[in-house]
A and B are shown apart, each in its own frame.
Chain A
Amino acid sequence: MRRLATLALAFTMAAAACGGTTPTGGTAPSGAPADMSALAPAKDVAPAATLTWWHAMSGVNGDALNKIVAGFNSSQTKIKVEAVFQGTYDDLLAKLNTAIASNAAPALVQVYDIGQRYMYDSGQVVPMQAFIDRDKFNTTDFEPAVINYYKYQDKLQSMPFNASTPLLYYNKDAFKEVGLDPAKPPVTFTEIADAAKKLTKKDASGATVRFGFGPSIYGWLFEQLMATSGALYADNGNGRDNRATKVVYNSAAGKAILDWWKAGVDGGYFYNPGIDNDGAANAFNAQKTAMYIESTARLRGHITTIAGKFELGTGLYPRPDSKPKEGGNIIGGASLYIMKSRPPAEQQAAWEFVKYAMTPAVQAQWQSDTGYYPIVKAAYDQGPSKDWSTKYPQFLAAITEIRDSPQNRFTNGAVLGVMPQARQRTQKMIESVLLGQATTQAALDAAVEDMNTQIDKYNKANP
């Protein structure tokens, strides 16, 4: 009882001390962007000697991350960064939340894309824009698609770190087998359905040996399909002009997506792996499906596992037949946040590290080691990046995709405080449609209604 009151008190004090950056809702975005330098520590504050960084990268990506840290630590003697792995993105966020409550948050933390609004509403973040404004840091060379995702009301809240987009992965050998052109993967819904029908193979007993297309039920994929359809997911400019008050994906675009998906599963040429993303990837590797959609981050893993069993192709992410010009893909992945609860010296140190991580050489190496996008365009001119593109030409589809994506609210992606919940709810929605429990429009409406209640709750609880 007393402790919780103390927590609440600690919060109000922290909020007050930090000059009240908690945003008031419902105001229209201002005209000229105000300078945010005041939110960053003064320029002459000496950076702290040690810095803790919480992240969610393990395995190959974890190694690559540690390489960056080692490089930074050895390149100068003022700051030593300690990178700590904290589990999956979900675990990390849960842990961060708990840590914030007891004032144990680190200075630098990697949080996934959909954690944006939550981080912003927590009032615990020093916006990256503050440092950028203060030092007049040049961001013109930064990949626009990536930067725009992490802006709110045109201010950069966090620094993108690992960026990915979804692609169509396809089996070139299977294409050749059924007479499809392996150099021209299908792009529109109808093209994919047609190709999938051709690629589906049954055996003597009528059991399907290979499905044409096998997308997993993953909320992110649905969000991407809305984006390529040039449609909004949430109101108020996808929650970027102002806090979102409702979700709006029960539109014609949403219905078209679900109708296409359902027709495929019902018709027997789409495979339904359920919510098991790993299962969907595995099915593709094992040639149970000839096409599927997933993140570019999985590219390297696929190449290693497929190991010459068949030729791997990548293509653009599916979009409606009309190929809307305003449609394009959203950046996924995670970004780095500098936490306000730490002393200015540590915030300063965090910024120093962030700058280092964004240098072209580091970015090129990061791309080469992991398959994530470089955030700065100059990285593409570096050796490791060039080698990577030569070795994995399949990656080029990804680069084309984000370069060609128009920059607008549809492709910026939705920002919601309850995004993890929203993602779960769309998964439930898709499940109910594919199981035949509801018609597509009814499922969309039900999901939207549920989420609007949740958004209301969130907005009331986090003014």
Chain B
Amino acid sequence: MKLRNIANYALLVVGSIVVAFPLLLALSYSLMSESEIATFPPPILPARPTLDNYAQVFATIPIVRYLLNSFVVSSAVVVGQLLTASLAAYAFSFLVFRGRQLLFFLFLSTLMIPWEATIIPNYITIRSIGWLDTYQGLAVPFMATAFGTFLLRQAFLQIPRELWDAARIDGATTFRFLVSTVIPLSRPALGTVAIYGFLSTYNQYFWPLLITNQTLMRTTQVGIAQLRFEETLRWGLVMAGVIMVAVPTLALLVLGQRQLIRGLTAGAVKG
């Protein structure tokens, strides 16, 4: 038994290092000087670790502002997604109406539309309503989510029908039931939708680039791109930026990882 545990741990350690290796390497490079990186054989650990790259990131781009912007926009999107997806998922799980199936497929179809097909018309829309360089412009287009709706629908379908029947008998309105029973019982799934929404918004590049002109309104991925200069290459600097930008998302993952798994276990993906 003990031997099997050791074997298991060994596999886990090796597996984790292999998977997390690229990220660990980025961390390592972020602590090296340019000169040290440009050597052969390629270095793995810094011989003379330095925080210069991090200092340079602060000096080159307003990283704190970018992190703040990303955080605000991602949070706004999460709130919006939770609202729209809960309402829609509720309709697809508890309400009965003709055309429900069709509308559900309509929702799913949005997942298949390539972003290039919509990005320019969206830019023109945002521009014409004066939302360039605003948090709204960055967040609103993404506040509806077919993925989240799908996920929540599966979770809502796991809620026992008896509760619904009992609530009806008690005279509760449809909406009441959603708020008082369905939502509290679906917390893990809601958590999952929240985390997914946050991460995917946080990692956007092209849209924020397109609709923000002011430096102060830009977001983290645009910021990292700014560290890749047109004419020269500074890997240490780029990796420092990468690490700084990844820290919040990793923190989120550490905190929410358990939630994430539980949210999906709650029947979300069982069909």
Contact = CB atoms under 8 A, between A and B. Distances in A.
Chains A and B directly touch (beta carbon < 8 Å) = yes
Interface of A: 3, 52, 54, 56-62, 84-89, 91, 95, 98, 101-102, 104, 164, 278, 281-282, 285-288, 295, 297-298, 300-301, 304-307, 309
Given A285-B38, A295-B231, A305-B38, A85 B124 contact: no
Interface of B: 34-35, 37-40, 60, 120-121, 123-124, 127-128, 132, 209-210, 213-215, 222, 225-235, 237
A85 B230 CA distance: 12
B40 A278 contact: no
A88 B39 contact: no
Given A58-B226, A87-B209, A102-B124, A298 B231 contact: yes
B40 A306 contact: no
Nearest to B218: A85
Interchain residue pairs A-B with the least CB separation, the first 6: A301-B232, A285-B38, A297-B231, A278-B233, A59-B229, A305-B34
B243 to A, nearest CB: 18
Given A59-B234, A85-B226, 16 more contacts: A3-B121, A3-B124, A54-B213, A58-B227, A60-B232, A61-B230, A84-B214, A98-B210, A102-B123, A102-B124, A301-B233, A304-B34, A305-B34, A305-B38, A307-B35, A309-B35
A62 B230 CA distance: 10
Contacts of A87: 209, 222, 225-226
A104 B132 contact: yes
Contacts of B132: 104
B232 A104 contact: no
Contacts of A85: 215, 226
Contacts of B214: 84
B230 A305 contact: no
B225 A88 contact: yes
A54 B230 CA distance: 15
Contacts of A282: 37-38, 233, 235
B230 A288 contact: no
A449 B235 CA distance: 39
B229 A102 contact: no
Contacts of A95: 209-210
A86 to B, nearest CB: 8
A297 B34 CA distance: 17
B232 A287 contact: no
14 contacts: A84-B213, A87-B222, A87-B226, A88-B225, A95-B210, A98-B120, A102-B127, A102-B128, A278-B233, A281-B232, A285-B38, A286-B40, A297-B231, A297-B232
A281 B228 CA distance: 14
A59 B127 CA distance: 29
A89 B230 contact: yes
A91 B209 contact: yes
Contact of A101 (B34, B37, B124): B124
A58 B210 CA distance: 17
Contacts of B123: 98, 102
A298 B232 contact: yes
Given A98-B210, A102-B127, A102-B128, A306 B35 contact: yes
